[in-house]
Copies of this chain bind each other. A is one copy, B any other.
């Protein structure tokens, strides 16, 4: 046999993982039964417990997977350091684009890790901090208005990202790069013609 030992098992495990991701994403954690996961994976229920501790465990694994990969995407998105406002905005836009690419390529995982999981709150919190740091630096260097609390802005941005991902990106309405561009533009300039102030 050409296949190495253990290959079949790994495949079964993967099938289960994918099936679980799909079911969780579509039906949520509680509405997803182990029985429907294994049905989708064309395996039996005991097979499930051959590869995973429990239903909770697969969910955890998927969440972690999402988190790790997203972190990697973000970390690897760092552009060569260009210290200018445009640099920061470019960086933001670039990172957002890569994130969106990742989300778009992994819709089920995204719904799980960015929406369903309780830990998604922490992840979004991390994201907020990451954005905040970026913007704060620029703010201290005087390129951004100083009357905004950058933490607040970051929170707003993350909220925007979350919604846009699920209403525009995943349904395929707008391309990742376009979305990133639109969002950054909006947050930088606002919609007013002039520097209006309420």
Identity of the chain B residue whose Cβ is nearest the Cβ of A147 in the assembled complex:
B185
Distance (Å) between the CB of A160 and the closest chain B CB? 4
Query: Using Cβ atoms and an 8 Å threshold, which residues of chain B touch A162?
Result: 159, 162-163
Stretch at the interface among A61-69, A73-81, A104-112, A149-157: A149-157
- Per the 8 Å Cβ criterion, residues 140-198 of A in contact with B are 142-145, 148-149, 152-153, 155-164, 167-168, 174, 181-193, 195-198
Stretch at the interface among A4-12, A52-60, A84-92: A84-92
Query: Using Cβ atoms and an 8 Å threshold, which residues of chain B touch A124?
Result: 163
Counting every copy of the chain, the complex holds: 4
Query: Using Cβ atoms and an 8 Å threshold, which residues of chain B touch A193?
Result: 142-145
Q: When the two chains form their complex, are residues B197 and A185 in contact, meaning their CB atoms are under 8 A apart?
A: yes
Measured between alpha carbons, how far is A155 from B153 in the docked complex, in Å? Answer: 16
Interface of A is mostly: helix
Query: How many residues in A have their beta carbons less than 8 Å from beta carbons of B?
Result: 48
Chain B CB within 10 A, most for which of A124, A142, A167 = A167
Query: Using Cβ atoms and an 8 Å threshold, which residues of chain B touch A190?
Result: 186-190
Distance (Å) between the CB of A130 and the closest chain B CB? 15
Identity of the chain B residue whose Cβ is nearest the Cβ of A93 in the assembled complex:
B198
Q: When the two chains form their complex, are residues B192 and A197 in contact, meaning their CB atoms are under 8 A apart?
A: no
